[in-house]
Amino acid sequence: MRALYGLAMIAMLLVLAVPSGLDSCAISPPVAVFVASQGPAARGEFLRGKVPAVLGSYSQRDLVAAFRVLSGAPLSEAEVAALYPKPEPVYGYPAPAPISEPWIEARQLIPGVQPIAHLEPYKTVSTNGQMVSFLNCQRDAFLTATITQGTLIANWGVADPRISEWMKAQDQVFANCDGTTNTIPPEPTGAMDPLLAAHRRYQIAAAHFYVGRFREASDRFRRIAGEPDSPWHDIAPYLAARALLRAGLVDGDRPAFEQGKEGLQAILKDPALAEWHEASLALLHLWQVRVEPQKRLIELGQTLQQPQAEAAAQDPIDFLYLMDQGEPAQSMADLQESELASWVLAMSRPPKDAGSVSMAWWRKERRPVWLVAALRNANATDLPELVRAARQVPADSPAWESASYYGIAGEIRAGHVEAGRRWADRMLARKLSRSTRNLLLAARLPIARNWNEFLRFAPRQPEADLAEFDGKEVAAWEMPAPTAVPPTLIQDSAQILNAQVPLSLWKDAVRNPIVPASVQLRLAFAGWLRAVMLDRYEDARFFLTRAVELQPSSAAAAKDFLEAHTDAEARFAAVRLVLRAPSVCPSVPDEGLDTTNLAQKHRLLTFGWYRTSCWGPLSMKGDKPAGFLSAEQIAEGQKESARIYGQERWEATLLLRESVAWAETHADDPRVPEALHDAVLAAYYRGKDANTGKYSKRAFDLLDSRYPKSPWTAQTPYWYK
């Protein structure tokens, strides 16, 4: 007897044989996005003033941009570049060249130098019991060494022994970058060339810095600052202060941190050191970020909320760091001096006083940007005033979609349901961004007055150029996803249909002209199996007939069911169709799954690269009765759903058992060999239980003993537990 058990399968088959639903620990496949929640779907249009409803879940980077656009002060190209720096390389992109590469290539110009393949610039240290890696040797360090080498070669010639001496010491300096060695070049001798000696003193100070002896490095740089003939004389004060700041950052040396700040302030006051004012100010800002975070946050907010002639790339980085990772403000009053910081906080993680403070800003400024924040956080007392203002925002305002969305939500929240309906309907008749449209559809669906309204507001289309992958929303071209799909149903409407809507209304939905054909087809296949599981075969023929009308390619496969003379024949035909199409379930199909096509036989149901199943439990916990259904309709729908979801799933064991039962009583049915073959394979591809192997073996034995010459027998060499 030929048998192949799961434990004996080769590795690849083991991967495929994992039961459905066990892939959840892997990275999920890309999925369509119906509401862009992490930032605007079309950032270019957004920055030009076409703003969708701004959500508090947006990245704070996008909230900064939204503030500027909604304030009527859009970002310049330079500001956009500073706020949205080029992303790091991602999937499939070439990695950038190592920052040490120019130096590695340049040093090869020195005769006799030993080549090196790589210099690791990152160092790992233990800080507060945690291992932290940081860029110890910056790109500028390698660039400076490269330029210095070129200058020395120009002065002395490439073959001069002093070049080799300088190079040897420089290699010792950079040997400390990764923190695995502590190599300090030797002190200059009295006989050493004065210029070479000056460079050596700088190299020794730099080596101490990279080793982590920051105070020693600072002292040495300070002595170099007192050498007027040293080529490092001008930069040395800056490097001395930088070393002290590093001591504070890495070693927690608070006095060094304060001394470093004083050194930077002294540089900024010295006109002779103007060349180093910009770099010193940047370091001073770093000091503020660490020591005076709230003060620096307010300063940055005041800077970023206004157009800037020159955009400092570090400013938005520091602002976002302080907003995201700094200690969050306990109240908006803490940030009153920065309008931008207050607004971003009110939108992203509003504290208790967000409503009152946002309202105060709105009454003071009367600008749409604060109307949006006030609406988002409005209390019942202020809501009427804000809703009236939202209704007055013109359609050409960047705040129109945001104010309208939050205004409609406010009307519904306040119990003004009819006013919310009318406003939402007017908005949905206009041209809107896809995300805003779907937000309004989601708001409109629960207050549908009747069945036709529910059908009108249930279908959604995803954003055309956005996909969610590994928890992040990315441009669809970066990670291809099923974005160019026709309208479909998502969870809010699917749950109502699955749990509360009776089959009589499902029948209406699949022929209702309000419903897009793509949705009708998906409902027709699900409604067909619902009817079969309820033993309502005339209704099942209605649904499958409609599916064939919408998808003529399925006609041949559906023929046996539609022409069945008895319920038993129809049941067997239904089993064969579910074996053929694992995407058929009695639930509204998940929006990420392809629509069933009976013309194509499938073994495995996949979602992207995931193996999956369309069978899942129905949860009715906390489900609010649909307002557009009568009590009788809800009772009927819940009774049907309880019966459907209380049954055994049409997975491997049921499909095998019913195929075997039919084969044992209808041995001459020419369809039996194929049905047994499909059922045996279901034990491999479909969800299974403890009884699956028993029926799999029985189906295999029937096929092998009764139909030895059938091509389906030849295609079934094994049975599966």
Q: Which tokens belong to 494?
A: 């699917």
| Cβ neighbours, 10 Å, residue 476 | 23
- More confident call, 94 vs 299: 299
**Region label for 342, one of left (φ > 0), alpha (ψ between -120 and 50) or beta (otherwise):** alpha
Per-residue confidence (pLDDT) for residue 21, from 0 to 100:
36
Question: Comparing C-alpha atoms, which of 610, 615, 480 is closest to residue 26?
Answer: 610
Per-residue confidence band for 23, with pLDDT thresholds at 50, 70 and 90: very low
pLDDT in tens, 372-412: 999 999 999 999 999 999 999 999 999 999 999 999 999 99
Helix intervals (H) in 460-599 = 491-499, 503-509, 517-533, 537-550, 555-562, 567-580
| 607 φ/ψ angles, rounded to the nearest 5 degrees | -130, 100
Q: Is the pLDDT of residue 218 over 50?
A: yes
User: Looking at beta carbons, which pairs linking 240-247 to residues 24 or more positions away fall under 8 Å?
Assistant: 241/267, 241/280, 241/283, 242/283, 243/209, 243/214, 243/215, 243/217, 243/218, 244/214, 244/215, 244/218, 245/283, 245/286, 245/287, 246/209, 246/214, 247/214, 247/215, 247/218
Residue range 337-361: mean pLDDT, rounded: 93
pLDDT in tens, 74-84: 999 999 999 99
Pairing between β-strand 466-469 and β-strand 31-32 as defined by DSSP bridges = antiparallel
Question: Comparing C-alpha atoms, which of 653, 657, 659, 654 is closest to residue 677?
Answer: 659
End-to-end CA distance of the chain: 15
| Cβ neighbours, 10 Å, residue 343 | 26
Residue range 81-104: mean pLDDT, rounded: 72
**How are strands ordered across the β-sheet holding 472-475?**
31-32, 466-469, 472-475
| 195 φ/ψ angles, rounded to the nearest 5 degrees | -70, -40
Per-residue confidence band for 310, with pLDDT thresholds at 50, 70 and 90: confident
Per-residue confidence band for 3, with pLDDT thresholds at 50, 70 and 90: very low
Per-residue confidence band for 7, with pLDDT thresholds at 50, 70 and 90: very low
Q: Which residues have CB under 8 Å from 475's CB, separation 6+?
A: 465, 466, 467
Least confident span in 24-28, 139-143, 360-364: 24-28
Question: Comparing C-alpha atoms, which of 17, 23, 11, 22 is closest to residue 652?
Answer: 17
**Region label for 340, one of left (φ > 0), alpha (ψ between -120 and 50) or beta (otherwise):** alpha
What's the pTM? 0.82
pLDDT in tens, 185-211: 999 999 999 999 999 999 999 999 999
